Amino acid sequence: MLALDDPITAAEVLRAFHHDEAFLFLGAAFNTVTIILVGLCVIRRKPDGLLLSLAWFAHLYGIRLWMNSELLNMSETPSESLHRIRAAIDYLVPVPAWIFFNYAGFLGRLRKNLWIFLSIFIGLSIASLIFGPRPAFHHINNTVVIVSLLIMAFRWSRRMIHERESRVIGIGLLSFILLALVDNLSRYARVEPYGFAILLACLGYVAAHRTLQRDREYTELQQELDLARRIQLSILPSAFPPSQSFRVAAKYIPMTSVAGDLYDFLIANDKQAGLLSRMFRATECQQRSSPPWSRWPQPRSATTQQIQPNFSAE
């Protein structure tokens, strides 16, 4: 004989919605940030590890808020697979955060040990999918997160005095840590997502500042290369002097915007002319103790050729 579950009333759904209203909105906001960051990378046609890791971080936390909502518990029948997926997502959340700090250059010497932290969190996530949630997994995750946050806070306390970006991230980390502690110590408070929103805003500021700075430096570099190209083209002869005996054509195509090769024509008379060409090649330093002038391009050849009347006679 089958036993049917009690139907969910509209009042229960409304009560669950009001209970999770703020967190559902934050989850949607975090996933919207993910879409914007990914779309920005698509528009720029350039995958940016800083933006993509931040997008992954926001997406995982937004999915985590939705997975832990009361509305999902009401609409879905409790199952072991759902609990395993929730635990796996919880353990994966710190992974993109560490990758973001690595791309931002904030880890310093900890960069060598990055794979240790990533392996722990990824291993816990895989273990939760295979064996299900375990108290030991939860304790290991909390211990590693607390230790890593303390290490990062210690490093930031030394850098916040001199660097503006470190101060911004320090404010976000401090807000997230304090609200997470309140959330864990209090039985009724759920304020950690607000701390994450502050942290995400601070990380977004740093990512936007870094991206705009790189784009500005790239634009300035392109402008300098364009100026160098125009200067170089102004030095090269635009055409061979007219002659009734022969005709010469030249075309200069550098590998990139500019190059070091030069050429010019030396006219002797109506039937004799010389071609002066100077080609450069960049030499690499084989030893660190080499003198500074060895790092500059050295002339490969400087030749002068005499053009005979029958070379390109009309």
pLDDT given at position 161: 62
Range of the domain at 290: 238-307
Work out the burial of residue 93: count CB atoms within 10 Å of its CB; fewer than 13 is exposed, 13-18 middle, 19 or more buried: buried
Q: Is the residue at 6 inside a domain?
A: no
The CA distance from 152 to 144, in Å, is 12
**Tens digits of residue pLDDT in 9-26:** 777 777 777 778 888 899
pLDDT given at position 122: 94
> Does residue 275 contact residue 263 with C-beta atoms inside 8 Å?
yes
pLDDT given at position 76: 67
pLDDT given at position 119: 92
Q: How many domains does the chain have?
A: 2
Q: Rounded to a whole number, what is the distance in angstroms from the first to the last CA of the chain?
A: 106
Q: Which of 5-9, 209-213, 278-282 has the lowest mean pLDDT?
A: 278-282
Q: Helix or strand or coil: residue 149? A: helix
What is the pTM for the complete model shown? 0.66
Residue 213, domain CATH = 1.20.1070
Say whether both 164 and 277 belong to one domain.
Answer: no
**Tens digits of residue pLDDT in 162-199:** 677 778 877 887 888 788 778 766 666 778 889 889 98
Domain boundary among 190, 219, 248: 219
pLDDT given at position 120: 92
The CA distance from 38 to 31, in Å, is 11
CB atoms within 10 A of CB 23: 21
CB atoms within 10 A of CB 313: 12
Say whether both 167 and 254 belong to one domain.
Answer: no
What number is the average pLDDT over the span 89-117?
A: 85
Between residues 128 and 307, which one has the greater pLDDT?
Answer: 128
**Amino acid sitting at position 299:** P
**Taking 70 as the threshold, does the pLDDT of residue 300 lie above it?**
no
